[in-house]
A and B are shown apart, each in its own frame.
Chain A
Amino acid sequence: MMPNVMEKALPKNKEERKISTVLQAKDLTISYNKTVAVNNISISLPERKITAIIGPSGCGKSTLLRSFNRMNDFVPGANLKGQVMYRGTDLYGRDVDPVEVRRKIGMVFQKPNPFPKSIFENVSWGPLINGFRKDIHERVEQSLRRAALWDEVKDRLNNSALTLSGGQQQRLCMARALAMEPEVILMDEPCSALDPVSTAHIEDLMFELKQNHTIIIVTHNMQQASRVSKFTAFFDAGNLIEFGETQNIFTLPQHKRTEDYVTGRFG
């Protein structure tokens, strides 16, 4: 079992809120059968910030993201070397239960994937299966409010989630993840299936959420990375080319490859 880190994760006063590391990959190599997807990278992801991971298709950014909540465990042939540290615990350590990891590190997927159930059940299911029974209605309302969806759905909580629009469905998926009160939220191209208005909605939401959560977002959209993130990591062919403040990555890239990518010369 993992140590109880949630108390540590929420400092009591503002002075304590200097940048600290939540997730850290150390000499991490991930391969599928014989193909290397992430090649010996090390990166430290800061607490309560939005970090964007950018790079051309197939560069390993989604693979890296999914290693943070052990979703690669379901990919046959996936193999991981190195360490992924979450507040001092190796997520791939022998006595770590991946189910426990995913309770604390939530995920929003590329395409909205609500359960074919009611809006209410979509949000309540996570807390319920994890033993949270008290005030479930309150938890659902609070999660939907934080995902900026409450006002749109409060009169039809029992309708099927599939009656919502794509953008609403994606916000429902965020509410569903938030209902678990995760410390970290992983987002795998959350806006790639959405129109510009819905995308703006999600981005506004991310600004709200970074008050209390660490967000790691994989995105193909460089404008989005520069708009929302504090830090950006640029990946190419499984290698971490550059990692730093977003502003610097986009205006003063240190590597030619980064510059070519962020200026749209390839990718």
Chain B
Amino acid sequence: MISQNLTHRHRVAILFHGFCFMVSWTGVVILGILLFHVTGEGLHWLDLQFLNDFPSRFPEKAGIKSALFGTVWLISLTALISIPLGVGAAIYLEEYAPKNAFTRFIDLNISNLAGVPSIVYGMLGLVIFVRWFNFDRSVLAGSMTMSLLILPIIIIASRESLRGVPNTIRQAAFALGATRWQTIYSHVLPASLPGILTGFILALSRSIGETAPLIMIGALTYVAFVPEGPMDEFAALPIQIFNWASRPQQEFHELAAAGILVLLIVLLLMNSVAVFIRHRLEKKNQ
């Protein structure tokens, strides 16, 4: 009786193992097919000329310089705006704010904001930043809109990470006559930084690929210059890709694929920096 039961339990265990294996490999395989397809189409367009030239209506002269610089500007500014705001809000909500009905209400709303379609943020950005603030179609307006979009992700990830720091650490610091800020700065933040960095990766990865809000606030699709300041107009990689992909000629489809490759490389570089920092921190904290 007992052994029969055990066989059954083993069978369930193997089935579940197999299920998990399949699910995870489905993702990898689909991503692999996509990468294979994109690389096959776009790789032969990917050269220095492609990176160094501005868009053109002749595919062989077209390049991605303005979009690449635009995206770098956009992401850098977005990071500068959203990271301090997001981490600050998370620290306040987790370490300072009293736990009452009001903070729970804020909690709920932040979680909801994470699910709002990006086009809605685009409209908000258009009304507030482009029109009211009169930032026009600048990188700054784009970055601020992007920041709104990814703030909920950063706040939620940072809060989870802060919550993961054991309370005994805070108590140990307080018992030594530390103020709340000294406790947070020296112990809570360093211990939660790996998790917070994961939040940055997720958030910035999302913002680098977002197209809808940028179209909404009027980022340009044909730009023959690179932004030199936060108030300049800009193009961005996903918009350039979208533009190329929607043209009828096969060459432009291949250019779009090359653009996707550039986007993926930028994303990969960005994330590997974050992963590297996180790894260093984890090693230090063990």
Q: Which residues of A contact B (CB under 8 A)?
A: 69, 71, 74, 76, 99-104, 106-107, 109, 111, 113-117, 125-126, 129-130, 160, 162-163, 173, 176-177, 180
Contact = CB atoms under 8 A, between A and B. Distances in A.
Contacts of A130: 176-177
A129 B176 contact: yes
B177 A99 contact: yes
Q: B interface, by DSSP: helix, strand, loop or mixed?
A: helix
B178 A129 contact: yes
A126 B171 contact: no
Size range of the chain B interface in the assembly: 20 to 34
Contacts of B186: 125, 129
Contact of B171 (A76, A109, A114): A109
State the 9 A-B residue pairs at the shortest beta-carbon distance, nearest first: A103-B177, A126-B176, A113-B168, A107-B175, A102-B177, A113-B172, A116-B285, A160-B286, A129-B182
Interface string B178-205: 1100100011001100000000000000
B99 interface: yes
A100 B172 CA distance: 15
Contacts of A115: 169, 172-173, 187
A148 B88 CA distance: 41
Nearest to B180: A99
Which of A101, A107, A129 counts the most chain B CB atoms within 10 A?
Answer: A129
Contacts of A163: 286
B25 interface: no
B16 interface: no
Nearest to A113: B168
B174 interface: yes
Nearest to B100: A76
Nearest to B177: A103
A116 B283 CA distance: 11
B182 A109 contact: no
A107 B175 CA distance: 6
Nearest to A159: B286
Contacts of B191: 116
Contacts of B190: 116
Nearest to A173: B172
A22 to B, nearest CB: 17
Given A125-B186, A126-B176, A162 B286 contact: yes
